[in-house]
Structure 1
């Protein structure tokens, strides 16, 4: 797999992978640039994005039809994240954050490169054509409507930068998210997150009055301002209690509050039945149109779609999208046009569609052999992140998929095949098949994604973690392994019934049936050696890898378990009786790899970063102790100070090389 870089209306920066060992095909492919964190200016067609090239992260800016330019000049694979890019309305200023963890921005700051001292987390601003200037510690910078001020947050504090100086203007007990300005630039709207509850609040920008929008039990989230700024809409929801019936509720509603007083009214409440539990997309989930409609996601049909409701009168919501597909994300333009990314035509790809907020027929606006994700608007132009079987995530304009920056190509990549198979309990499972090169019968592997609320696609994924996994599956196929990537139940893309299937996770691990059926499907292929099948995956995929080896070492002869969950035991909610709590904990144990540790025979490679904030490092330590006690062969690879989604290219490359060597030793 040789990689080449094609300059397309972009400045191409000369690049060589860091000196780690030898430069090989895996190192080259894994070093290809991946774009993320795209942002747009309000008034002009200017876009910004983060590029990760072999762990070196930099910011780029491009105007439609002009050459992209690099804004930052970082040159090290130092594990320092770049995120939260924001452009001023006129596009002349760019703010962003360097350092910290964008998934846990208010948590302990990581030091994944093991520097002598832990680096900081800083907000920077760049004037058009200038150099980055730090303005304070924190994250989530947001420009005021006139572009002259920047609000940002740090561990519950709210800060305001103007005229070259930043000052603290307020502090709240929780963590601040969804920060935005009112249209007149006088107040700040945000969510105050306090673990088991969240409140929507408005703060005077001079640090004066703080007004909460009628606090309630549960979570007030996704605030949206009316066009005039005098009202705030938000979603109010409760988590269903343990053991609740699927048709219980109501659990969520849409409320509208007076911005001056905080007094709220319930505009609409989700009825019982399908869609009675709140579930949103991966971007903002409530928009207020100029035409007076509130747009929100709802699973009333069993699939996640966009609905509109009259913001003044309420009434019955109107479906703007419909069909047996899911809306992944959606945005509202200044012209009241809704752009959404969905798998409407192809189950394992994404494309952009548009529909008026007032209703009408949705029209597809992007075409291609890949996927388009995360729509962004700037000055009336639509852009997003595109990827396909040979090209990792890169920024494009929606029209003609014209690249805004550089498009990298992975030479020698094979196009994965879409496959389906059925499980013993009758579930149809989708997967992507990477056929191994060379003569058969050949060794084979199951790949299981994490999440589990994820979906692997027929090409590079827009998320860095799964873009890396795609490269790894290509590398394994090039070495003669046939790889089946399984989109198991509890994942996204195939409707609510598939995502919330009976008995998943701690309630019985029913998703493992999809993995087991995939292994047996591989074993039945004429070009696969049925006695040389392995499995690998990370996070929840690590859990399923461990479960496969514990329950079915007869089929799965080796596995690579990246930061997996090995015991599902956790506290049970107090709404259950003591007897019900005991039964629930027993089910958790039976659903865990630890619950079947006695039948584990196959060798495993355990990979974990010890500063993991998603899956505790102790999960792998627990498993290693148990395997050692039972003399089950296992290898270990530990990265001190590394997080769940390894921040350093060097660590990904080391982990993948070790995984290939491990499988070569046990399956070839």
Structure 2
């Protein structure tokens, strides 16, 4: 919606005439707003799809839909792919669905419900219900739609939900409270621990015959690959060492296991020294436990374990091992014979790979990447042993999360465009067809959204930065503008609705801000992904110098060159790492940035992690450069520049944030008060980092947009120091 402002100088006339004029103008303006604008609720009304999966032996797919915070399981069957709602949860209750699995026959869906635990052992409850919630594993038969409880999950890390079904689909295993738990999918017996094993045990993988489970036993500074045998009720370890082993993968015949090995942890390493993380691929005899390396990375930085897609890219396929490596500077797929030999590069070029799926016949891979379209995602196929990748999708659309059906031919995925939200799709010979199209609300304002423009600009050091420019419809004169910075920082914003729900929401907010008359530039600053390792791994990034801030400064300078931008009315907003950069911009350059909205940002790097003190901070222990690292971390933080912070800010955070301590906001507010800096605050009790309630996002985004309108458009003053 365009901002309409007018100044009227009326001659003295009758009060009645003035009343009729004002009433008529108000009605006219209201009709314009109705015709041209849309609400935050409308642009966030689409159901967000996630956890797309397929049955191994049936023509059925399943996924989770989050519709305005109401999360449910859905399925569809080939060939018509008519969508069917399986569960019937009905509240925006903050109970997330994760780790969706279909039994091989497609008759039952297994999933987790509820958030991971915080440090106090609590499942998040942003509804502030008086009954303590639990994170649990559930199963539901597609034909009945009545969920049954299998057991408690209660894992302790974000994204830790990992339910694995036995090959026959009768048993589920998952990691909970440091041990592996199993339960019959039928619900006939309660869940119980597989066995007592020291350490924190996770990453379960069933053997092809279902008689054993391989898993990772984390022991702090080292880890083992272990195998539990159900018949013998025994544990055996594969080539135990002082190193850290992970990602076990069975061969199709169950005789071998591939795994990744990286060095064990070394104590008292310098914090500021950038070190390589070399790794190797090992093949173990599943019976004897003997293992040998078939591939080793180089010892230099570029040979380091990518820590990006290495887990979902690692597969034992036929007689070859598929893995991800950045040895050429880009995150690519390789394959190598299980017997060893030279690795074959499968995806050459200046692009990066993300989602990877193995074909049913074990001859090819389907993957998503930004090949030939660096700020989007498309699907590609490549043979396991090499050859030229084949494009499966292209154009102005985006696709991710590919899944091949049991027939070995049909591929489904999730996808979006610049003006249509994420939905499930079936790939066709001519493009793609939407699944569950009837669930896209009529109120969703696709026709009123703008198509962001792909832009690039140089930072001060010459590095080229990518961004997406949202321009309000009909904008021809100078007006207010905003920068948006994503979190992560290992993220990339794109020319369409994002595949992560957090940034799907942020993209919707940028569209809403554009409808309110703001030019918005979404900045893919350095330390982000998909532009190569050298762009992502910066020696002076984050707490080591915040060199990425020069990209934000350059983005502001770019906006100032545009005739549609008023250089005196530029603000910025972002969440998490983007909140950090928002606060840093306001603290260092209130002369440029006149307002900011900071969602759960970091404000003092030195208050996090090793800098908190404890054993690592005592004399004779901890990193040898701790003092210098702490000094640099603070200087890289917004708090270090608090004395030059003048512009108003709106701070938004949940107080059960498990990613950024709520104390970061509490501490900043005291400093802003001391400096008499205008600020507003929204605190969501019991809400986490990635808000679980749809209504939390809606309120934050509405108030954020209003805040920018008050400061940058209307020129209102925000109360100082309160």
Same-fold call, TM > 0.5? yes
2:139 maps to: 125
- Offset at residue 24 of structure 1 (A): 5.8
Gaps of 5+ in 2: 2-36, 154-160, 714-722
Distance 1:161 1:206, change over 3 A: farther
Note if 1:159 corresponds to 2:181. Answer: yes
1:28 maps to: 42
| Aligned equivalent of 1:385, options 414, 418, 425 | 414
Distance 1:80 1:245, change over 3 A: closer
* Equivalences, count: 643
- Offset at residue 196 of structure 1 (A): 4.7
1:46 maps to: 60
Note if 1:402 corresponds to 2:433. Answer: yes
Note if 1:369 corresponds to 2:396. Answer: yes
CA distance in 1, matches of 2:55, 2:120: 26
| Aligned equivalent of 1:278, options 289, 305, 308 | 305
Per-residue CA deviation, residues 385-412 of structure 1 (Å, 9 max, x unaligned), is: 1111122111112333222323635321
Note if 1:451 corresponds to 2:477. Answer: no
1:20 maps to: none
| Aligned equivalent of 1:149, options 171, 183, 198 | 171
Q: What secondary structure sits across from 2:73 in the alignment?
A: strand
Q: What secondary structure sits across from 2:168 in the alignment?
A: coil
State the TM-score, normalizing by the size of structure 1: 0.92
2:461 maps to: 425
CA distance in 2, matches of 1:171, 1:285: 30
Note if 1:350 corresponds to 2:377. Answer: yes
CA distance in 2, matches of 1:536, 1:37: 29
CA distance in 2, matches of 1:458, 1:576: 48
Distance 1:185 1:471, change over 3 A: same
Note if 1:177 corresponds to 2:202. Answer: yes
Q: What secondary structure sits across from 2:642 in the alignment?
A: helix
Q: Between Structure 1 and Structure 2, which shows a larger proportion of strand residues?
A: 1
For the pair shown, the structure with the greater C-alpha radius of gyration is 2
- Offset at residue 42 of structure 1 (A): 1.2
2:324 maps to: 297
1:252 maps to: 279
Distance 1:173 1:610, change over 3 A: farther
Deviates more, 1:144-153 or 1:561-570: 144-153
Per-residue CA deviation, residues 139-176 of structure 1 (Å, 9 max, x unaligned), is: 53322111222223321232222352134122444444
CA distance in 2, matches of 1:578, 1:44: 55
CA distance in 2, matches of 1:378, 1:212: 35
Q: What secondary structure sits across from 1:361 in the alignment?
A: coil
Per-residue CA deviation, residues 28-78 of structure 1 (Å, 9 max, x unaligned), is: 111211101111111223111010111011110111223110011011111
- Offset at residue 648 of structure 1 (A): 0.2
Residues 560 and 606 in structure 1, CA contact (< 8 A), matched pair in contact too: yes
Deviates more, 1:345-354 or 1:575-584: 575-584
2:471 maps to: 435
CA distance in 2, matches of 1:650, 1:250: 42
Deviates more, 1:579-588 or 1:627-636: 579-588
Note if 1:288 corresponds to 2:316. Answer: yes
Distance 1:226 1:413, change over 3 A: same
1:13 maps to: none
State the TM-score, normalizing by the size of structure 2: 0.85
Per-residue CA deviation, residues 449-506 of structure 1 (Å, 9 max, x unaligned), is: 0000000010100111000000100000001000000000000010000001231111
| Aligned pairs for 1:179-258 within 5 A | 179-194=204-219, 196-205=221-230, 208-238=233-263, 241-242=269-270, 251-258=278-285
CA distance in 2, matches of 1:337, 1:124: 33
CA distance in 1, matches of 2:276, 2:63: 41
Note if 1:311 corresponds to 2:338. Answer: yes
| Aligned equivalent of 1:512, options 522, 532, 549 | 549
Residues 150 and 191 in structure 2, CA contact (< 8 A), matched pair in contact too: no
- Offset at residue 579 of structure 1 (A): 6.9
1:502 maps to: 539
Q: What secondary structure sits across from 1:94 in the alignment?
A: strand
Distance 1:397 1:211, change over 3 A: farther
CA distance in 1, matches of 2:507, 2:516: 14
Distance 1:24 1:433, change over 3 A: closer
Superposed CA RMSD in Å reads 2.3
Distance 1:274 1:30, change over 3 A: same
